[in-house]
Amino acid sequence: MPVIIHQQFIEASVERCFDLVRNVDIHTQTTLKTKERAVGGVTEGLLEQGDTVTWEAVHFGVKQRLTAKVTVMERPHQFVDVMVKGAFQSFTHTHEFIEKEDGTVMIDRFQYKSPIGFIGVLADKLFLEKYMRGFIVSRARALKKIAECSCM
């Protein structure tokens, strides 16, 4: 089961980073390449523990839907969302925020299991893990730009 871990330093408060990451509207802004949008559950504003959101996005040229549920919310240090329906067999995405003197370290830990047994494992090795790492890193960099901007 692949585990992708990415750390991003952001020159912003831990509270600001935490709220931006759980903001559905900001999520849409940080995933423009995949045209991600919320189409079910919570479709705007801040996610809270117990909330579900269904995302529609284009991955590998195919429109897909994925529903995730927020299972842990420890503001402003951590929240966890898990897939309840979608293309993966399962995933758990832990978002952690560590306050530093001059900003915040945001840590994404994305653990997933591909569907289709051995074929899914092969897909992980050939392209999927690299694709998912790129997606997470790209989103983290976009969040950093937004969080460090004084325009919000």
Task: Give the closest residue to 68 by CA, choosing from 14, 13, 22.
Answer: 22
Q: What does pLDDT average to over the chain?
A: 95
pLDDT of residue 120: 78
Mean pLDDT of 78-90: 96
Sequence-distant (6+) residues with CB within 8 A of 45 are: 23, 24, 25
pLDDT of 151 above 70: no
pLDDT of 92 above 70: yes
Of 17-26, 81-90, 142-151, minimum mean pLDDT range? 142-151
Percentage of the chain beyond pLDDT 70 is 99
Q: What is the CA radius of gyration of the chain?
A: 15
Q: Give the model's confidence band at 99: pLDDT under 50 very low, under 70 low, under 90 confident, else very high.
A: very high
Strand ranges, E, within the chain: 3-10, 37-41, 52-59, 62-74, 78-85, 90-100, 103-113
Give the separation between CA 120 and CA 13, rounded to whole angstroms.
Answer: 39
pLDDT of 150 above 80: no
Question: How is the chain split into domains, by residue range?
Answer: 3-147
pLDDT tens, residue by residue, 106-135: 999 999 999 888 887 888 888 999 999 999
* Amino acid code (one letter) for 77: H
Which class in CATH covers the domain with range 3-147?
alpha beta
Q: Terminal CA-to-CA distance of the chain, rounded, Å?
A: 38
Sequence-distant (6+) residues with CB within 8 A of 152 are: 146
